[in-house]
Structure 1
């Protein structure tokens, strides 16, 4: 990435007058002091700031000042985001990189509350008060797929995980205070990659509320709505190089900018407790049935990312676009979508699935955003059961192909052994089950089928399946004997 000569003096988002920013930046045209904070968002990371916050900023730019955001971090590590956004008055730069690069200052986040865990009573009370405030009409969440205390296999509430879930404990306390103070109806919107994410959020919320008692559950059933949604925008982790580029190209100091692809999509169920913001006016698809769009995106885009991630790490790749420039890996992920994911998808209104798959390959191959393989490797135990295994089970029922999925999962097992094909140590990405997974992976060295005995990930069925278990063992054995490149080539028939 090339940079221009730094502009002097630098404009610091901590105190810069938006009217004096360089013309190369698109800045808010609205008066931020006139905005009404009516959305509380739990889990402010890169994706939220490249997605929901941008749609809300679009509304603000159109003169609708009723829907500003109060961001919230409910994990100890969120203190860095809190410091950055509070220092910068909620402002940040969104760098959109594709055929062209544009930079836009987003102003829709007007405050931030940090809760450093359930023991942080002051922070928790401030956030509870925000949720209970009658001015708040929406609570939205981006807390990752593993942040919902609901069992993947049964869809039932998981009380053990819920006890340690700051997000849901605080949400329910906020709903309880809202009920007691007459704060009125509320809509809770999940923006995480989960099929039926609204239904899952409702299950988790009511499960926690049941422990409170005092008619709270009945009040939630009557006054709180949980619409389903599908969200999409590839948003890699921010790097120091991105900060340096902003300073050099635009003379801008931003402690935590966001980089994203130009494409963005939001499909939202029309099921709000009060009037929905006019999201349809800014490109959101509002529909009565989100499920087909959810399944399409999760089983094509998200599953493909996971299928690539660990095999690419074993081959020594660092960036997703580099992998897509390798003919064998590109054919592998394309064949997975064409031969395994697509045939068992439900019909999606208005979508040509083959064209959608081709578009995904082009998005993955975008060299401008520098999407990291390490990002895709995060939280495999939360992702595979939701993104890939439904396709595996559907193909097993249909007697169809499973070889690409089996190789992807074998690649995950090899990755968890901690060394790539060059013998270099791999810094394993975060996973909530990492200690257990590495134990299963180590045992797989002599008995590959052991890895499938992790029922938290694979359930009771896949490890004993007469087709899938041998396919996994064969793929893993080939990775051990021949390496990832030869195994991928053989899988695609080369």
Structure 2
């Protein structure tokens, strides 16, 4: 059975469907960067709000490049199924929150119309870090070709070009400001969006920049849910178990987290009634994710690969690696910062362990191991530094760091890292006796994150030499 509005009432009994009539609900949200993550995350929260009786919060999705999501969902009237996979039978839920998908390169005027509509109150974004065109020092990279083109021709190809055109029109017709809610996986995403948009508008129209600062808000948020790329076997399984022919199906884990700074200029869906957390400061939640979740993931990746393992679920089940990852989360990372009021780090660690152990959603260690030089400063070195300042040792992080040092040597497998060549040269020049200092000493390759304690640095070097022998 092909999924669309005409077949919605004929689905298998175990398939949940919207408790509202999707076409009868107006759009109150525009989402830039509609993809699998958005469909398994923000759209699910919004669908739940409308299931509970809230109205007119459907989402107009915008694809900034590809037609694939448009071509998947348009024949299905915007409907698609989200399947949560665990050791139990998957739960299947049809989402009706997406009203349609615009393809920006095909019809940029329609995107501006949607953003400028008086019905639109919130714009959410998942455009990846590249979509923000940030300079190395922060703020907008004015030399980026796409940014320069939008400013020169007053066009709309980047998120800033589209937002500038829409905000200009909203000011003209007194439509009011917008809540611009970044859901991208980067720290202080709201502040980054606000700064870069302001940089753009100051060149585009300084009076519009001033109007935007006074009429729009830029809440930060923290998002978390594993959403692997959908495969043909996934679609086949859905068809066989639920009778659904769904080109837009997404598959995910039961866990989902959305922490949002409570800073909205107008109304919003009651997302907090369906699992989201509205807080005054997102930063402690971002820190917990980086140091506890991401820190443990990276440790399992490098230590697991060294033992010939492939999946996170295998690594957390290992009698040596599992306890080490748990110690890193609970005893080291969780004690390295001050949590927000009501933020339960012990419960968070319980959730992480359950997620890591889920074999139904394979998460490959080699993927987590990619680009480690860009990740370990936030995931490990910040924890190490904070605990050193408090006079505490971090043996689990040091063990993980030694494993990464051995990994980037490149003798056991190909290294996928933007600093691969620099790391290889450092190994060649320093050798096993000096590699720890060459990387993390005062004048090392990672001098911005150098390990101040000589005893800790020596301990790290000893761990590397022990593993090599």
CA contact under 8 A between 2:84 and 2:251: conserved in structure 1?
yes
* Residue 264 (1) aligns with residue 256 (2): yes
Q: Note the C-alpha offset of 1:388.
A: 3.6
Distance 2:61 2:447 in 1: 36
CA contact under 8 A between 1:93 and 1:257: conserved in structure 2?
yes
Equivalent residue number for residue 460 of structure 1: 448
Distance 1:382 1:224 in 2: 32
- The 5 Å alignment of 1:45-444 reads 45-74=35-64, 76=65, 78-100=66-88, 101-115=90-104, 120=105, 122-145=106-129, 147-150=131-134, 156-159=138-141, 164=146, 166-377=158-369, 380=372, 383-412=375-404, 414-416=406-408, 420=412, 425-426=413-414, 428=416, 434=417, 436-444=418-426
Gaps of 5+ in 1: 1-10, 429-433, 483-494
Q: Structure 2 length as normaliser, TM-score?
A: 0.84
Distance 2:364 2:380 in 1: 20
Distance 2:347 2:125 in 1: 30
Inter-CA distance 473–55: structure 2 relative to 1 (3 Å threshold): same
Inter-CA distance 352–133: structure 2 relative to 1 (3 Å threshold): closer
1:77-124 Cα shifts (integer Å, max 9, x gaps): x44333323343322211112353211111111111234xxxx4x444
Q: Structure 1 length as normaliser, TM-score?
A: 0.80
CA contact under 8 A between 2:87 and 2:359: conserved in structure 1?
no
Inter-CA distance 374–209: structure 2 relative to 1 (3 Å threshold): farther
Distance 1:172 1:407 in 2: 49
CA contact under 8 A between 2:337 and 2:386: conserved in structure 1?
no
CA contact under 8 A between 1:230 and 1:267: conserved in structure 2?
yes
Please give the secondary structure, in 2, of the residue aligned with 1:366: coil
Please give the secondary structure, in 1, of the residue aligned with 2:170: helix
Please give the secondary structure, in 2, of the residue aligned with 1:103: strand
Distance 1:466 1:194 in 2: 32
CA contact under 8 A between 2:167 and 2:177: conserved in structure 1?
no
1:267-299 Cα shifts (integer Å, max 9, x gaps): 222210111222233232223333333322332
Q: Note the C-alpha offset of 1:461.
A: 4.0
Please give the secondary structure, in 2, of the residue aligned with 1:327: coil
Distance 1:467 1:176 in 2: 59
Deviates more, 1:224-233 or 1:159-168: 159-168
Q: Note the C-alpha offset of 1:402.
A: 4.1
CA contact under 8 A between 1:236 and 1:375: conserved in structure 2?
no
Gaps of 5+ in 2: 148-157
Equivalent residue number for residue 6 of structure 1: none
CA contact under 8 A between 2:377 and 2:449: conserved in structure 1?
no
Please give the secondary structure, in 2, of the residue aligned with 1:72: strand
Deviates more, 1:399-408 or 1:203-212: 399-408
Inter-CA distance 310–141: structure 2 relative to 1 (3 Å threshold): farther
- Number of corresponding residues: 452
Equivalent residue number for residue 488 of structure 1: none
Q: Note the C-alpha offset of 1:58.
A: 0.5
Inter-CA distance 381–19: structure 2 relative to 1 (3 Å threshold): farther
Inter-CA distance 375–228: structure 2 relative to 1 (3 Å threshold): same
RMSD: 3.2
Q: Note the C-alpha offset of 1:138.
A: 0.9
CA contact under 8 A between 1:96 and 1:102: conserved in structure 2?
yes
Distance 1:217 1:344 in 2: 39
CA contact under 8 A between 1:92 and 1:107: conserved in structure 2?
yes
Distance 2:457 2:187 in 1: 26
Inter-CA distance 443–110: structure 2 relative to 1 (3 Å threshold): same
CA contact under 8 A between 2:69 and 2:101: conserved in structure 1?
no
Q: Note the C-alpha offset of 1:361.
A: 1.1
